[in-house]
Each structure stands twice: as structure tokens, then as C-alpha cells.
Structure 1
Amino acid sequence: MTALEIRDLDVWFGHAHDRVDAVKGANLSVMQGESFGLVGESGSGKSTILRAITGLAPQWSGTIEVEGQTLSGAKRDRAFFRTVQMVFQDPYASLHPRHTVDQVLSETLHLHGLDNIDKRVAGLLDDVGLGQRFRFRYPHQLSGGQRQRVAIARALAGEPDILLLDEPTSALDVSVQAEVLNLLADLRTKHGLTYLMVSHDLPVIAHMCDQLAVMRNGEIVEVMSSATLRMGNPRHEYSQELLRASVAPQ
């Protein structure tokens, strides 16, 4: 079953002479339970695709289907957010500074119309490897990796099928990036999740994803398997450049 289908997607910002075309004619298909990566340089349009799916980039044309349901415009209803959730890049900006972890998760569960809030909060914290001792802490009392775990728990609160991951570890210290990536891999297996993951880091995508699309200047220039990437056999010249850059000495 196809979890996410995108056909002929154009996304733009501004109007007339001020229009900027951020995504041009994008096509991709993500199967249920698959982890699919979007990779490319900054400004290539990767995150814009995620924002179009969630309604955060309202000016778009083409077709976006989520589990067979065709989306339109920028408005997304509660049913959509029970199916699709997004984890943002910056864990420092994505949590309310005056809300405890308990408040963040409890309010999210209420918004999804779920009951047994206390039990669910405890389960979410256990799921992301934090536990009850973090429940009444504020964001400033958490490390970057712990904040991102809370953000992941919040995304899981509505029991979605699909997670959109926008550079979920790029703002974290190198020492904790692997921990969060391994957590995401474990959660995907445990809950049968589908991932659409944005990254500029080819090794991360090769580790996390089954398939990937390479983007350049708003266009998808190549779709390949992660096995093809690991073997060093991309077809497109730009994909080859990215691969060479990722393995070059720093």
C-alpha cells in the first residue's frame, strides 16, 4: 500500500515578479512502512515538500495523496494530523519554554481527543527513552537530545502512521545524533511507521532510509535505493558530486 504519493508538485512563494519556485515537478512514492529520504544542498526544496504536505507552504499545485486521500490547499483537519506528524529541525524552538514536558504531551493528547492522558504521557516518555523523571521538567532543564526526544514523543501522541522528519538531528551535538537516529529506527520498527526524512547528510540517509530522492534547485534529479548509494553507484552527476563530498576528508 502506498502511504504517500506526490505527483507533479510545484511549490512557490510570492506572486508575479516576486515569485520564487521552490519545488518544480516533484514526483515520489513512499510505501507503507518504508523510510524514504530527501537529500540535497540547503535551499534545494527538501523541507518545502514537507511543508506543502502539512499545509505550512500553502502555494502549491499538483497532487499530494496521503493513504489514498487527496489533499487540497493548505487546510488540514484533525484526521490528517492523526495520520501525519512532523518533527522539526530545531528542538530549542519547537517546545514552549514555559510548558513542562507533561503539559506539552498532555495538551497534545487532548487536542487529538484521546483519553487516559496520564497513562499515555507515561507511555510516550518510556517510548522515547526518557522515563518519568523528566515529566515535570521545563525545556531549559533538558539537553538538546532530550528536547528532541520530547518533540518525537509529541509527534507520536496521536498514534500517526507517517512521520515527516525535517533534519531531526542536525541541530544536535554529534555525540547524541546517533542516539536519536537509533531511537527513530527503533520506533519505526516498533510502531510500523512510515518516514519521509529530509537531510543534507548522505551517510544519515543511507543508514536510515530504504529509498532516497536527490534534489537540486527544486527538482528531483534522481531516485535510488540506499543500497545503490552505499555501493557508490548513483547515475546522476550531481548525486555523484554529493557522494564524493560526503566521503572527502574534512
Structure 2
Amino acid sequence: MNALEIKDLNVWFGEGAARTDAVKHVSFDVAEGESFGLVGESGSGKSTVLRAIAGLVPTWNGEMRVMGEPLGVARTPKFYKTVQMVFQDPYASLHPRQTVDRVLSEVLGLHGFKDIDARIDKLLRDVGLGPGFRFRYPHQLSGGQRQRVAIARALAPEPRVLLLDEPTSALDVSVQAEILNLLAELRAEHGLTYIMVSHDLGVVGHLCGRIAVMQTGEVVELLGVEKMRALQAEHPYTRHLLESSIGAVR
């Protein structure tokens, strides 16, 4: 079964003469349990695709399905129990005046869970943080710890699909590998499906089995990560990306 099906997706901003077409005729499928990457340079439309799936961009047409269910303009509570998103900047995505406990409690309560204390403890353990972090504020955490809290928040509703928007790009290089390894472990443990956006082919090669390469809003090539590592790309733009990152993807 496919966790995600995208067919002929178009996303735009503005109207009339001011309209900008950010995503054009994008199609791809992601199997349940797969980790799929969207790569490309800044402005290629990869994050816009992710935001359209999440319901953060209302101006789109085409077809999108999650677990076989078609998506409309509005997202339902059922959707947000199935799909969650981890954003690029963990500090900006966490409320500066809310403790970790408050952040996680609100999400769990919103989704109707009752055993909130036990669930918070488990979520913190799952992301490699102990109970001592529960009542800290974001400014008391390192960048890597904040991203672990953001991942815990995304896991709180017990989703089946995680949308990962450059989840390590705002972190120090020394911390990036830790977060990628954590994401790999969580995917294996919980049977999650990942759709990950990154400009870093090394990051994508670490976590994903297949990638879609985007340029100026279009998917120019779909290929497996083994072909990516072997530099066996067909499209000139993909070859350019691989050659520019030749040390990172091997």
C-alpha cells in the first residue's frame, strides 16, 4: 500500500499577473514504511510540496492521497493524527514561553489521550531525552535537544507519516548525525513513513531509499539512492547536483 500518492500537483502563490507557479505537474508515490527524499537547490519547490501535503498552502490543484484517502483544501483531525511535520528550525517551531511538558501535554490532550504523564515520559525516552528535560524551556536546550523535542511532539499523536523539512540543516555538523540516526531508529521501531526535504545529498543518502530531484518546481528525475551513490543519474541537473556533492553521497 502507498502511504502517499501525488499526481500532477501544481502549487502557486498570488493571482493574475502576480501569480508565481512554485510547483508544476509533480507526481510520485511513497510506499508505506519507505523513506523518500525530495532534493534540489533553494527555490526548487521541494519544501512547497511538503507544505502543500501538510495543508499549509491552500492554492493547489492535482491529486494527493494519504493512506488511500484523498486530500482536499482543508485538513481533518484524522489527517493530523496520521501525518505530522518536523520543521527546519527547532527554536522557531517551539513556543519560547512553554516548557517541554506543556508542549507535549497540549498535543496529547488535543488528540484525546488520557495517560498524558506516562506518554510524555515515553516520548522523551524515545527521542533520547530523560525526565530531567520535561520542565525546561526551549532557551535552556541546545539545538539538538530542541529538535529532539520537536520530533517527540510530532510522534505524540502516533502518526504513520512524518514530513521532514530539512530537519538537520539548522544544527551543528556534530549533532546532525545524531538526529539522523535517531530518525532512522524511530522509523524502524514505529514502522514510520518519511518524506524528507533536503538540499544535502549526504543527509538524504543516509536516510532515504529513493529520491525525487526537483528543479524550478518540477521533478526532473526519480532514482534510487544506490544509483545516486554510484553517480548513475540521467538528467544533467541531477548529475550536476551529484558532482557538486560527490564527497557527501558516498
For 2:210, the equivalent position in structure 1 comes to: 211
1:113 aligns to what?
112
Deviation at 1:60, TM superposition (A): 0.1
TM-score scaled by length of structure 1: 0.98
Distance (Å, rounded) in 1 between the aligned partners of 2:25 and 2:76: 26
Q: Which position in structure 2 is the counterpart of 1:92?
A: 91
Task: Indicate the residue corresponding to 2:143 in structure 1.
Answer: 144
Displacement, 1:54? 1.0
- Segments of structure 1 that go 5 or more residues without pairing to the other structure are none
Q: Determine helix, strand or coil for the equivalent of 1:247.
A: coil
1:238 & 1:130 partners in 2: Cα distance? 41
TM-superposed CA distance for 1:248, in Å, is: 6.5
Deviations 1:197-236 (A, max 9, x none): 0000011111110110000000000000001101110111
Alpha-carbon distance in structure 2 between the residues aligned to 1:121 and 1:59: 36
The corresponding residue for 1:194 is 193
Cα deviation code 1:104-138 (max 9, x no counterpart): 00111001111100000000000000010100000
**Aligned twin of 2:174:** 175
**Counterpart residue type for residue 197 of structure 1:** M
How far 1:196 moved relative to its partner? 0.2
- Counterpart in 2 of 1:50? 50
Question: Which stretches in structure 2 are left out of the alignment for 5+ residues?
Answer: none
Counterparts of 1:14-93 in structure 2 under 5 Å?
A: 14-73=14-73, 75-93=74-92
2: CA distance, partners of 1:161 / 1:145? 23
Give the SS at the match of 1:81. helix
CA distance in 1, matches of 2:178, 2:192: 18
C-alpha separation between the residues in 2 aligned to 1:134 and 1:164?
A: 25
Counterpart Cα distance in 1 of 2:162 and 2:37: 12
- Count of residue correspondences: 248
- Residue 228 of structure 1 corresponds to 227
Note the C-alpha offset of 1:247.
2.2
- Deviation, 1:186, is 0.3
Q: What TM-score results when the alignment is normalised by the length of structure 2?
A: 0.98
Q: Give deviations 1:72-91, integer Å, cap 9, x for gaps.
A: 11x11110000000000001
User: Structure 2: how far apart are the matches of 1:171 and 1:95?
Assistant: 14
Which amino acid in structure 1 is aligned with residue 25 of structure 2?
Answer: G
In the alignment, the residues of structure 1 paired with residue 238 and residue 53 of structure 2 have an alpha-carbon distance, to the nearest angstrom, of 25
Deviations 1:18-53 (CA, angstroms, capped at 9, x unpaired): 000000000010000000000000010000001101
**RMSD, matched Cα:** 0.9
The percentage of aligned residue pairs carrying the same residue is: 65
**What secondary structure, in the 3-state scheme, does the structure 2 residue paired with 1:125 have?**
helix
Q: Which runs of 4+ in 1 moved over 3 A?
A: none
SS in structure 2 of the partner of residue 27 of structure 1:
strand
DSSP-derived class of the 2:244 partner: helix
2:226 is aligned with what amino acid? A
Q: Which amino acid aligns with 1:206?
A: G
